[in-house]
């Protein structure tokens, strides 16, 4: 028996829309967990915030810092302490509102996902990793310094790769070009050249000394034969 009726298709569409709406976004329990864990908590930034907001791309293979705001003024530095004042769960992003401890400055860290968020929150592991790469409790100065050092290394590696691609050269070529501009590197290279020159001079003197000794031995042998 075939079902007919003008209201059947709209009804099915309505059910699909209701099911889709119910599945959109992470669950209220998940929202409550992250809100309870981070809201009003003082944390140290492991990423900078330029302008009003900084976007962190949440990827399965790791996180990537959106660089489209590089021309905007720096509002929060890496290692600066902030207070998380709000969390906002969007369709494909989770926003963390932050403020300086004196509340004079405010900004937003946006965690953006490739796909819309769903009730099951399949990207939770990637999101947790992105959070660890963006905030730290800073229980020691060493932890904060490590965060700064790691940020510098990550950004340097990314810049080196970009330079290599845009110039059509290798990563080693870029590293060598950058390293040569380092004053300490140039000083070390100068010292190395000086030491190399000294070694070469000593080796030349040693060869001359050996040659003289060989000549003296020959003269001594001739004298003994005579």
| Residue 113 pLDDT greater than 50, yes or no | yes
In the chain, what percentage of residues exceed pLDDT 70?
Answer: 78
Average pLDDT, integer, range 40-62: 93
pLDDT digits (tens, 9 = 90+) for 125-179: 999 999 999 999 987 778 888 888 888 887 777 777 777 877 888 878 877 877 7
- Phi–psi pair at 167, nearest 5 degrees: -105, -5
User: Using CA atoms, how far apart are residues 25 and 113, in angstroms rounded to an integer?
Assistant: 12
Sign of CA dihedral 173, 178, 180, 186: negative
pTM, 2 dp: 0.64
pLDDT tops 80 at residue 119: yes
pLDDT at 211 over 90: no
Dump pLDDT digits (tens) for 67-80.
888 889 999 999 99
């Amino acid at each position: 028996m075939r079902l007919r009726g003008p209201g059947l298709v709209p009804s099915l569409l309505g059910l699909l829309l209701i099911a889709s709406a119910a599945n959109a976004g992470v669950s209220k329990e998940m929202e409550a967990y992250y809100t309870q864990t981070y809201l009003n908590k003082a944390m140290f930034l492991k990423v900078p915030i330029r302008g009003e907001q900084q976007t962190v791309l949440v990827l399965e293979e790791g996180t990537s810092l959106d660089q489209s705001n590089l021309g905007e003024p720096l509002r929060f530095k890496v290692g600066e302490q902030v207070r998380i004042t709000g969390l906002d769960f969007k369709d494909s992003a989770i926003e963390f509102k932050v403020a300086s401890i004196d509340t004079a400055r405010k900004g937003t860290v946006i965690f953006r996902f490739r796909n819309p968020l769903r009730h099951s929150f399949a990207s939770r592991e990637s999101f947790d990793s992105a959070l660890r790469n963006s905030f730290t409790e800073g229980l020691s100065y060493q932890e904060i310094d490590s965060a700064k050092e790691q940020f510098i290394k990550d950004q340097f590696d990314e810049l080196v790769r970009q330079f290599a691609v845009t110039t059509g050269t290798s990563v080693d070529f870029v590293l060598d070009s950058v390293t040569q501009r380092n004053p300490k590197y140039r000083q070390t290279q100068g010292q190395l050249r000086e030491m190399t020159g000294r070694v070469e001079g000593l080796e030349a003197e040693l060869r001359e000394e050996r040659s003289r000794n060989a000549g003296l031995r020959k003269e001594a042998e001739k004298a003994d034969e005579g």
